[in-house]
Amino acid sequence: MSQQNPDLIIENLHVNVEGQEILKGINLQANIGEINAIMGPNGSGKSTLAYTIMGHPKYEVAQGRIVFRGEDITKEKPTQRARLGLFLSFQYPTEIPGVTVSNFLRTALNALRPQPVPVPEFLKLLKEKMALLKIDQSFASRYLNEGFSGGEKKRTEILQMAVLQPRMAILDETDSGLDIDSLKIVANGVNELMGPHMGALVITHYQRLLNYIKPDRVHIMMDGRIAMSGGDELVQKLESHGYEWVQKGAGLKV
Amino acid sequence: MEDKTMPVSAAGEPEWVSAKRRDALASFSSAPYPVMRYGLNITTDLGELGLENLKAQRQKPPKVENMNKDIIIADLFTALKEYPDIVEKHLFRSMGFADCRCPNCITNVIANHKLASFHQAAWSRGLLVYVPRGVTAGEPVYADLHTEGSSIDHTIIVAEPRSSLSFLENLSGEGKYRSGVVEVFAGDGSRVNFGSMQNYGRGLVNFSLKKAIIGRDANVEWVTCDIGSGITKSDVSSVLNGPGARTMNRGIFLGSEGQHFDFHINAIHSSPHTESYLLTKGALNDNAKAIYRGLVKIAREAKGANGYQKADTMILGGRAEADPVPYLEIDNNEVKCGHATTVGQIDPDKLFYLMSRGLTEIEAKRRILEGFFEPLVRLLQVEHTQNEARRLMHGGIIRGLGKEMEASV
Ligand SMILES: Nc1ncnc2c1ncn2[C@@H]1O[C@H](COP(=O)(O)OP(=O)(O)OP(=O)(O)O)[C@@H](O)[C@H]1O
Ligand SMILES: [Mg+2]
């Protein structure tokens, strides 16, 4: 395994948004089957990195590249990235009026599978995953994210992940907006789905989530760069020392 | 009128009907053709229609499905024989209701309006639906009005006090010209739900005038869906004519490839505590154009009235244009009234969201558009018409987006 190239390789990534450089040379590697946590202060570029990996057209790659499962996807459309197995759980999920959760998920699943999934099989899968995440069945026929509470949106993101079964999920602050019980349910759900065939980049501000979802590695972003990487002891350090400590130690990149 | 023109009277109809036709013919001859203006520099001149020389075509009588024996559903010529009092009391009565005075509105200048006068002179197919006092019609009345060539269709709906009716017209066919007037008389405390699904061939000019006179505590809901025809001139008016009268008007349009739409939606509050809600949603591809004028008019007598209008248009192709113009005319201070219009493109964040789940750009756009219309489609009363509306929109959306895709490759 160690001889093989990592599944996700981000190399010297520079990203501009509306003419302003936000990511200033990110290097990051991650494998399917692993959990990588990304932490960092507000505005350090975590969501920008997530959007860029997923291919949002507003985020312009000025330099560097992104390789996933051996394919350079730097210029690919989000569609193609999803089909290769990437998934983004949005920090602020978008409302899609008039499109029901169930209808949408079936379309998406069929877009990812080589063969369309028969309706009864799909409904069974959806029901099962809704039960896993303790989402009321009535949500299946509601319009996607429309009028959902903050926490309901986050849970629905994880429901989508559970149904679509990506290889690598980016969870952008999935924990923020969740109450304590919901956090447990979502974390349990994520853990259940995680395994040798699925990895995650978990973006979070809080130790709370990482107590449930144990990261293999932790990366700390500061001002558009990865300032420090290490094991999960970093989470503890950060909690007690704050980001100033990272800034001071930024020279000592691991 | 000469032989080759539309017949001015039908065999065996009563003299009072023929007299109305003659009066209307006189106004038709003296009135100028309307010119529709889109924004600053786009105009459609209807003079080229040459209605004087329009060939008459026999149309199949309306095909109507309903099992309810308590209500009257009759071809209008038959109704003239069997229910003459009902027809005489209502035929063109809604036209007499003074309402809108804005310069482009035809609802109040009907006698002088070319197309409306033509309709009154030459109507050649018709339908009467009569719901007696206190009767609930139950299952929606479904009317299939198919046009071959040209047709002039007149529909009268009478809902007597405390009755209720759902009605749905399906407008289809190919041809040159279609004129359709619908008059709804909603008696005190009645409920009428009127749905319309229009998908004419692209060569046809569609003139449509719908008007409801709504009594005390009565409620009329309109759901109209315009997808076909080359030029559509459509006016839908609700006259809130008794205290507590309400109307909801929801309109959908979807156009591409040179289609023109001219909508005029009116809510006329002439009584206190009346309510109106006008909502229009449209999408335009290619070089299609739409003008939308919504009017909420609140008369001095209409204390405590409440009116709101909203028009949202999506522009899919670079050369499509939409021009929404909301009017509020308020002669009373003790009212609530508001409006909102948007003209925009597909939200790139919605597009990204769906594409990030594996949908192609075109699938994602299609979903967003279908979702945009879906809440209104759901209001069509008959399920197979809902599905028909979805199917037609699906086709229309794919057609427009397909082109865009070719262009982008
Ligand atoms: N569309 C945009 N237009 C302008 N500036 C942007 C845009 N998107 C991001 N930025 C800027 O880029 C920087 C990084 O933002 P980003 O959302 O990636 O931060 P983050 O690390 O996710 O923060 P948070 O922890 O608050 O979610 C911020 O300064 C932000 O204002
Ligand atoms: Mg963020």
Structure token digits, residue A62:
């000025």
In A, residues 95-134, which contact B (CB 8 Å cutoff)? 95-99, 104, 107-108, 111-112
Residue B252, chain A, CB below 8 Å: the answer is no
Taking an 8 Å cut-off on Cβ atoms, the answer to whether B356 and A87 are in contact is yes
Could you tell me which residue, B113 or A189, shows the higher pLDDT? Answer: A189
**Band of the pLDDT at A1, cuts 50, 70, 90?**
very low
Is there a contact between B359 and A111 (Cβ–Cβ < 8 Å)? yes
Cα distance between residue B207 and residue B352, in whole Å:
40
Helices and strands (H, E) in chain A, number of each type: 9, 10
Mean pLDDT score of chain A: 92
CB atoms within 10 A of CB B251: 24
In B, residues 352-371, which contact A (CB 8 Å cutoff)? 352-361, 363, 367-368, 370-371
| DSSP string over B192-212 | EEEEEEEEE-TT-EEEEEEEE
Q: State which of A47, A205, A246 you would mutate to test the pocket of ligand 1, scoring each by most atoms of that ligand within 8 A of its C-beta.
A: A47
Q: Which residue type does A101 have?
A: V
Phi–psi pair at A235, nearest 5 degrees: -60, -45
Structure token digits, residue A175:
């924990």
**How high is the pLDDT of residue B59?**
72
- Nearest-10 crossing angle of helices B15-30, B114-122: 150
Cα distance between residue A81 and residue A86, in whole Å:
6
Cα–Cα distances in angstroms (integers) from residue B71 to residues B126, B135, B145, B154, B351, in the given order:
17, 8, 20, 19, 49
Residue B41, chain A, CB below 8 Å: the answer is no
Cα–Cα distances in angstroms (integers) from residue A225 to residues A62, B70, B142, B188, B386, in the given order:
15, 77, 65, 71, 53
Q: Is the dihedral of CA B405, B406, B408, B409 positive or negative?
A: positive
**How high is the pLDDT of residue B265?**
92
Instruction: State the complex-level ipTM.
Output: 0.95
Nearest to B179 by CA among B128, B228, B221, B117: B117
Angle at A58 between CA B350 and CA B369, to 5 degrees: 20
Of the candidates B349, B359, B360, the beta carbon closest to that of A94 is on B349
Give pTM, 2 decimals. Answer: 0.83
Taking an 8 Å cut-off on Cβ atoms, the answer to whether B358 and A57 are in contact is no
Is there a contact between B260 and B36 (Cβ–Cβ < 8 Å)? yes
Atom 27 in ligand 1: residue holding the nearest Cα? A42
Cα distance between residue A153 and residue A144, in whole Å:
9
Tell me which H or E stretch contains B114. helix B114-122
Which chain A positions have a beta carbon within 8 Å of B365's beta carbon? none
Cα distance between residue A58 and residue A50, in whole Å:
12
**How high is the pLDDT of residue B24?**
87
A220 C-alpha vs ligand 1 centroid, how far in Å? 16
Task: State the DSSP code for B128.
Answer: E
> What is the DSSP pairing of strand A225-230 with strand A217-222?
antiparallel
Task: State the DSSP code for B333.
Answer: S
Domains and CATH numbers, chain A: 8-94+168-249 (3.40.50.300)
**How high is the pLDDT of residue B105?**
46
**How high is the pLDDT of residue A253?**
45
Nearest to B294 by CA among B307, B306, B309: B309
**How high is the pLDDT of residue B409?**
36
Taking an 8 Å cut-off on Cβ atoms, the answer to whether B353 and A93 are in contact is yes
**How high is the pLDDT of residue A204?**
93
Residue A159, chain B, CB below 8 Å: the answer is no
Is there a contact between B383 and B391 (Cβ–Cβ < 8 Å)? no
Q: Check pLDDT > 50 for residue A196.
A: yes
**How high is the pLDDT of residue B104?**
46
Task: State the DSSP code for B45.
Answer: E
Residues 6+ apart with CB under 8 A from B188: B161, B162, B215, B216, B217, B218, B242
**How high is the pLDDT of residue B100?**
46
The region of weakest confidence among A80-94, A195-209, B20-34, B379-393 is: B379-393
Structure token digits, residue B398:
């794919």
Structure token digits, residue B342:
């948007």
| DSSP string over B90-112 | HTTGGGG-----STT--SSSGGG
- Consecutive 10-residue runs of chain B (409 residues): their mean pLDDT? 48 88 87 68 70 70 77 93 95 71 44 77 93 92 90 96 93 92 97 93 92 96 92 92 95 89 91 95 89 89 92 86 85 83 91 96 90 85 74 72 52
A236 C-alpha vs ligand 2 centroid, how far in Å? 21
| Mean pLDDT calculated for residue range A219-243 | 90
Taking an 8 Å cut-off on Cβ atoms, the answer to whether B358 and A96 are in contact is no
Residues 6+ apart with CB under 8 A from B351: B361, B364, B365, B368
Cα distance between residue B80 and residue B372, in whole Å:
43
Q: Check pLDDT > 60 for residue A3.
A: no
Taking CA–CA distances from A93, the nearest residue in chain B reads B353
**How high is the pLDDT of residue A206?**
87
Render pLDDT for A138-156 as a digit per residue (tens, 0 to 9). Answer: 999 999 999 999 999 999 9
Phi–psi pair at B204, nearest 5 degrees: -95, 140
**How high is the pLDDT of residue B185?**
97
Which of B357, B363, B378, B390 is most worth mutating to test chain A (most A CB atoms within 10 A of its CB)? B357
**How high is the pLDDT of residue B42?**
61
Is there a contact between B154 and B181 (Cβ–Cβ < 8 Å)? yes
Which chain B positions have a beta carbon within 8 Å of A165's beta carbon? none
Phi–psi pair at B15, nearest 5 degrees: -60, -35
Q: Check pLDDT > 80 for residue A200.
A: yes
CB atoms within 10 A of CB B336: 12
